[in-house]
Copies of this chain bind each other. A is one copy, B any other.
Amino acid sequence: MATAPLSRLCIHTITTKPLALPAAAKAYRDLGAAGITVWRESLKPLGIKESARILTDSGLKVVSLCRTGFFPAISESDRQKALDDNRLAIDEAAAICAPLVVLVCGAVPGIPLAEARRQITDGIAAIIPHAAKAGVKLGIEPLHPMYADSRSAISTLSQANDIIEELRSPHVGVTIDVYHVWWDDQLESQIARAGRARSIFSYHVCDWRSPTRDLLLDRGIMGEGCIPLRQIRSWIENAGFDGMIEVEIFSNDFWQLDQLQFLKRLKSAYLEYA
């Protein structure tokens, strides 16, 4: 299978968390990357307007804004607050010319998962008009089942596809992150299903380390783990996706390195394994 070209390399600002947005944008550009996905916390120090200017000047394509969602809540007022934050995120995305907002859909210990999924579907339905008006799409990202307690009741691509079928909106699709779904024996068929619905909006890569020492902050760089990255990319491409390949790594280890050195390593790993 062909090497992924640099023209499809996108990096998430969280991947180089120690770098402020201007330094990150310059470093990604210098590396030869083509895209950037912006985490909302990266917008805070300089504000939306100045951040947007930096992004425009960088020449990088802004691929998406991460992240909002977190729809389920015990009280109606908390569910409304979540919708408000989702609308705010959509506005932020529009302001930085990001065509997509990634949804981490949420879960709350004590709310049954089926009920949480109901609230998620209703919550997404409620923000579609705002997204449509802003020209921003919504990517449902299934999260690994180890986050089903408090981060996402959407644990499989199958569940995300179900919601997309129910909502029937061109503004709602999926964000597929290999870290969350690599283990699933339905992955190939569900990628194909999402492809038929033209709903694969974005694609995230990293790797699964053995052992994994932390549930959240120990993601591996491509090639150092057991995720069959090339195989999954072939499924995604067979399903019609030819967009950016986004490197999203949360790692206490990598954040402690010199970030420019780490980016060189990331580029090699991308070219060799993604």
Interface, chain A (partner B; CB < 8 A): 109-110, 112-114, 144-146, 148-150, 155-156, 159, 182-185, 208, 210-213, 215, 225-226, 228
Contacts and interface: CB of A to CB of B under 8 A. Distances in A.
Q: Give the 5 A-B CB pairs with smallest separation, nearest first.
A: A148-B183, A109-B226, A145-B183, A146-B146, A149-B210
Nearest to A181: B145
A61 to B, nearest CB: 33
Given A149-B225, A150-B226, A211-B215, 20 more contacts: A109-B225, A110-B226, A112-B228, A113-B185, A114-B185, A145-B146, A145-B184, A146-B212, A146-B215, A148-B182, A148-B183, A149-B210, A149-B212, A149-B226, A150-B210, A155-B183, A155-B185, A159-B185, A212-B215, A215-B215
A150 B215 contact: no
A114 to B, nearest CB: 7
Given A113-B185, A226-B110, A211 B150 contact: yes
Copies in the complex: 2
Contacts of A156: 185
